[in-house]
Amino acid sequence: MAKAEALFGEGAGIVIGASKHLDETERRGLSIEIMSHEAVDTSAIEGERLDRDSVQSSIRRHLGMATDHRRSSPAEAGIAEMMVDLYQHLPGALEEPVLMNWHRQLMNGRTDFKDVGRYRTHDDPMQIVSGAIYEPKVHFEAPPSKQVGTEMARLMSWLEQSGPRGSTPLPPVTRAGIAHLWFESIHPFEDGNGRVGRAIIEKVLAQGLSAPIITGMSGTLLKYRKAYYQALEDGSHGLEITDWLLWFATKAVEAQKYTLAQVEFIMNKSRLIDSLRGQLNPRQEKALLRLFAAGLDGFTGGLSAAKYMSITDAPPATATRDLNGLSDMGALVRTGERKSTRYHLNIPMGGIPAIRLSDIL
């Protein structure tokens, strides 16, 4: 794990250093972007689809910023509040009241659970099950509810001892990997354990850095969702967790590279906007802002003339003229011909390579 820890520490330094080149508005925008992605992606891992714009609007509202007053569902408002709480107290100690507060926020609007903001109390086994109801496959069974308080006290004590100021400090990736697996193995809440567990990852990783930043693990874990669940299951069956920690480390390094790419995207966006100042008509400006809002991954398949007309309400001839103008200015890069013509922002986009086990050993 030594190389993985070194790569993560080096990457964190690059992200922190690059972020210093952003102005306050850009830094705030980056934080909102990362929080909204994390909220949507951690929910998607659990099979819950949230609207990113609604989540982002709710995050801005919790931060006391101007919003479009978009209506958010209880789930969207709850995960947004949890992300803001995580972000605003990122380097702080991870204590039991923090977990309870996160759980209350996550369960916003839920009336189907009795144990909200507290550990589970039901007598039924807490099992992770798949397959048909008449022939279920039990992947894992957590400790019974009556043992949860004791098990969580052990975890919280270990987190204190293994922290940067503890008696036996551990490096951040190793500590976060152990903490996540341990928490998921206890499965202390009636629901929401995965989302709380991934918030724990972010907090523990941040505690080990010179400046608190969100790594953004959920997007990478969503990308490898099936492997993530399998790695958790394999790691929960015994005390030998080396394979889990190595798998987790590859994803932590990969997630960090994506976050760095987001910082660079914002820097490149600022440079592009500065180079175009005074040259754009209102339609072109509106379309570019919409492309920038799509973030690092951009529009799926690129911007077509039809999409441009939908965004700007421009007629076909005007859309074609506007797009050609944006291409001539160097704002967009044109690919394809005729009906297959697509336009892309003329800045580096996406394409984060997968981190393999051999890269960290």
Domain-wise residue ranges, the chain: 27-263, 280-345
344 is catalytic: no
pLDDT of residue 152: 97
DSSP 311: H
Q: Is 196 annotated as a binding residue?
A: yes
H helical segments located in the chain? 2-19, 24-45, 52-62, 74-88, 96-106, 145-162, 172-186, 193-207, 217-223, 225-235, 242-275, 282-293, 305-312, 316-329, 357-360
Three-state SS at 209: coil
Which of these, 116, 121, 118, lies nearest to 144 by C-alpha position?
Answer: 121
| Residue 303, beta-bridge partner list | 343
* Residue in 62, 69, 187, 344 annotated catalytic: 187
Q: Is 115 annotated as a binding residue?
A: no
Q: Is 192 annotated as a binding residue?
A: yes
Structural class in CATH, domain 280-345? mainly alpha
Give the orientation angle of helix 24-45 with respect to helix 193-207, to 10 degrees. 140
CA–CA separation, 197 and 283 (whole Å): 44
pLDDT of residue 129: 66
Q: Is 119 annotated as a binding residue?
A: no
State the average pLDDT for the chain.
90
CA–CA separation, 251 and 272 (whole Å): 31
Q: How far apart are the first and last CA of the chain?
A: 7
pLDDT, tens only, 225-266: 999 999 999 998 888 999 999 999 999 999 999 988 888 888
Contact yes or no for 209/172 (Cβ under 8 A): yes
Give every residue of the chain whose pLDDT is below 70, as ranges.
Answer: 129-137, 350
Domain at 27-263: CATH code: 1.10.3290.10
pLDDT of residue 103: 97
Q: Is 194 annotated as a binding residue?
A: yes
Report the predicted TM-score, pTM, of the whole model to 2 decimal places.
Answer: 0.88
pLDDT, tens only, 151-190: 999 999 999 999 999 999 999 999 999 999 999 999 999 9
